């Protein structure tokens, strides 16, 4: 029975990954504030292409993860 279970679990994992990434990938909303005290502002800012609002990039040296945080300034309007 376990010989059949492994291929079914693998197929389920492939289907799950496909469902998550099929519509342009996993998109996370920007955070309203930095994730924690050990995060550092990288100095990078850009306008989110979907919403036009300014987003700042924060970095965790411990994990290597990047977080996107809404900037405190007014949003840039798309033309």
**Domain extent listing, the chain:** 25-74
pLDDT surpassing 70 at residue 39: yes
Q: What's the CA gap between 2 and 50, in Å, rounded?
A: 46
In this prediction, residue 29 carries a pLDDT of: 73
Q: What's the CA gap between 26 and 17, in Å, rounded?
A: 10
Terminal C-alpha separation, the chain: 59
For the chain, the average pLDDT equals 81
How many residues in total does the chain contain?
A: 79
pLDDT tens digits, one per residue of 56-79: 999 999 988 888 899 986 454 444
Lowest mean pLDDT: which of 16-25, 34-43, 61-70? 16-25
pLDDT tens digits, one per residue of 3-12: 778 888 999 9
> Nearest-CA neighbor of 59 among 49, 47, 67, 51?
67
């Amino acid at each position: 029975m376990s010989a059949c279970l492994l291929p079914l679990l693998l197929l389920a994992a492939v289907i799950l990954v496909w469902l998550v990434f099929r519509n342009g990938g996993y998109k996370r909303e920007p955070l309203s504030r930095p994730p924690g005290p050990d995060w550092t502002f990288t100095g990078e800012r850009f306008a989110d292409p979907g919403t036009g609002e300014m987003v700042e990039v924060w970095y965790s040296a411990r994990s290597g993860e990047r977080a996107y945080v809404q900037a405190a300034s007014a949003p840039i309007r798309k033309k």
